[in-house]
């Protein structure tokens, strides 16, 4: 009975390691092909690099934003991601809508005052969906470097090869034990 349980655990572990390898390869290829802009089903994932939106969005988190649509549709209280004149991405809450949505005054939840410059609707990238995964942003930023991409591809492969080696060693040991038992 114990052998069957160990055999099932062995198969599950092998499958999981192989799945992690495949997913990691696909993610690294996706990040590289898209220039670091991961997107799934129309939602784009961004890394939060500051604490301006804490406690709702923690530094180092990834968030999903919904891209596209009419960028004049947002209301006070919506959280948007926009591009600054310095070509940086910022995610802040809308504090005020100017005109019919041509411009927005934004503010980080953790900031004392509103941002100095109004945001033009044409600079809005998308709306925050409410989906956040803490700390994964650090991994995504590292994976976007050359060293990170290499490590993300190599490490799961090494784990799979190492685990396969252990499995083969165990099988050979059991085979030797059964041969020794037959001789006695």
Q: What is the pLDDT of residues 105-116, one digit of tens each?
A: 999 988 998 888
Catalytic residue among 50, 52, 61, 64: 50
pLDDT attached to residue 79 = 92
Whether residue 1 has pLDDT greater than 80: no
**Run of H or E including 158:** helix 146-183
Show the tokens assigned to 130: 């409410």
How many Cα atoms within 13 Å fall on the side-chain side of residue 27?
A: 20
- Its pTM stands at 0.61
pLDDT attached to residue 93 = 93
Based on the residue annotation, tell me whether 50 is a catalytic residue of this protein. yes
Whether residue 29 has pLDDT greater than 70: no
- Whether the CB-CB separation of 123 and 141 falls below 8 Å is answered with no
Residue 105, Cβ density class (10 Å: 0-12 exposed, 13-18 middle, ≥19 buried): middle
Q: What are 95's strand-pairing partners?
A: none
pLDDT digits 0-9 by tens, 127-161: 998 888 887 777 777 777 778 777 777 877 787 78
Show the tokens assigned to 105: 């005054």
pLDDT attached to residue 76 = 92
Would you state the CATH architecture of domain 38-135?
A: Ribbon (2.10)
pLDDT digits 0-9 by tens, 33-87: 655 566 666 677 788 888 888 888 888 888 888 887 788 888 899 999 999 888 8
Separation of alpha carbons 79 and 72, rounded Å: 13
């Amino acid at each position: 009975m114990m052998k069957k349980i160990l055999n099932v655990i062995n198969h599950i572990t092998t499958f999981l390691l192989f799945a992690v390898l495949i997913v990691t390869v696909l993610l690294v290829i996706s990040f590289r092909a898209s220039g670091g802009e991961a997107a799934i089903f129309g939602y784009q994932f961004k890394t939060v690099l500051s604490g301006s939106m804490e406690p709702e969005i923690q530094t180092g988190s990834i968030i999903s934003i919904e891209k596209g649509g009419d960028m004049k549709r947002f209301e006070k209280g919506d959280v948007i991601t926009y591009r600054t004149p310095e070509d940086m991405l910022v995610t802040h809450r809308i504090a005020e809508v100017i005109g019919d949505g041509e411009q927005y005054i934004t503010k980080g939840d953790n900031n004392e005052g509103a941002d100095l410059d109004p945001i033009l609707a044409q600079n809005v990238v998308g709306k925050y969906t409410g989906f956040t995964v803490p700390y994964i942003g650090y991994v995504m930023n590292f994976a976007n470097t050359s060293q990170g991409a290499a490590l993300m591809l190599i490490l799961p492969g090494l784990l799979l090869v190492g685990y396969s080696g252990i499995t083969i060693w165990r099988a050979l040991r059991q085979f030797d034990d059964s041969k020794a038992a037959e001789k006695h």
